[in-house]
Amino acid sequence: MTNTAWVFPGQGSQAIGMGADLASLPQAQERFALAEAELGWSVLEVVKDPNDQVSNTRYTQPCLYVIESILVDLLKQQGLVPQAVAGHSLGEYVALYAAGVFDFTTGLALVKQRAELMAQASDGMMAALLGFDADDLAAQLEATPGVVLANDNNPGQVVISGTPEAVEAVLGAVKAKRAVKLNVSGAFHSPLMAKAANTFKTVLEPVTFGTAQVPVLSNVDPTPATDGATLKQRLVQQMTGSVRWREITLALPGLGIDTLMEVGPGNVLTGLAKRTCRDLALVNVSSLDQVQQLVD
């Protein structure tokens, strides 16, 4: 018997047409209709837009949440359950939904407001670095005000975030096999998101977080937790804090996890895990066909 962690990708994994195959299912149709009533726009229309409307932060995050949540429901209907959950940035909201911390509508309302706040954060820049010396990068970040490590994804890939000047300075100083400036509206997971984070904190405060049914490993603290208040506090910190994904992946075998299942579009998280923890079996579930293959 396998012990599986379900992990959920965030912004950057979206693709035109993602989740459209789910629309053939009555239960998914109900979810899409419920989402449209909450959002004021259609997830299916956005994901099908050939002009890549789905990559606009305001739309990306709710679309990912809705589609990944539907996949969660389908997996559970097949009798599958995770032994632990985690999500990368936006994906943490789906992880909390999957763990029963809040219901679908509550999570969607939070994601909608989060997306709108982050879309308005026009200051700053983010860049991914691949193939670099970790000590050199750490030294440059320490010596350069206004830039931080935003995503510690795996030993060979990180994302830095900060003011354009500071990010450019680090990119110019660190030798890397590849450096890519990200197409995002602001310096996510950095102190530059403090204003948006403070506003979002007031949104979170009245929301009740229940006890998680399975351990949740949070972006800002990779130790497993089930207490609702703890998980809520970690989410408050998430918008300005670093995504400690490498540590999350490394923690899974210690929880008895032998299989990592990425639930959502693309294969970013399984790709990161290949280098971080080679002993984990990797599974991707991004479509109705892949859900059915798991139980056939």
- Would the CATH topology of 4-121+190-295 be identical to that of 125-181? no
pLDDT of residue 295: 79
Q: pTM for the full model? A: 0.96
Domain boundaries, the chain: 4-121+190-295, 125-181
Task: Tell me how far apart the terminal alpha carbons of the chain are, to the nearest angstrom.
Answer: 16
Q: What angle is formed at CA 278 by the lines to CA 9 and CA 263, rounded to 5 degrees? A: 20
pLDDT along the chain (296 residues), means of 10: 92 94 95 97 97 94 98 96 97 98 98 94 89 95 97 95 96 95 88 93 96 98 97 95 96 96 96 92 95 86
Phi, psi of 161 (to 5 degrees): -150, 140
62: Cα separation from own chain's centroid: 12
Query: Residues 184, 235, 89, 171: what is their CA dihedral angle, to the nearest 10 degrees?
Result: 60
What fold does the segment set 4-121+190-295 form as a domain? Malonyl-Coenzyme A Acyl Carrier Protein; domain 2 (3.40.366)
H-state helical runs in the chain: 26-39, 43-48, 57-77, 91-98, 104-120, 134-143, 164-173, 194-204, 228-238, 245-251, 268-276, 288-295
Phi, psi of 43 (to 5 degrees): -60, -45
Range 125-181 has CATH code 1.25.40.10: no
DSSP state of 280: S
Which residues have a catalytic role annotated? 89, 189
pLDDT of residue 1: 58
Where is 242: in which H helix or E strand?
none
pLDDT of residue 121: 79
Rounded to whole angstroms, the Cα distance separating 165 from 139 reads: 17
pLDDT of residue 296: 75
pLDDT of residue 186: 86
Please state at what angle helix 57-77 crosses helix 26-39, rounded to 10 degrees.
150
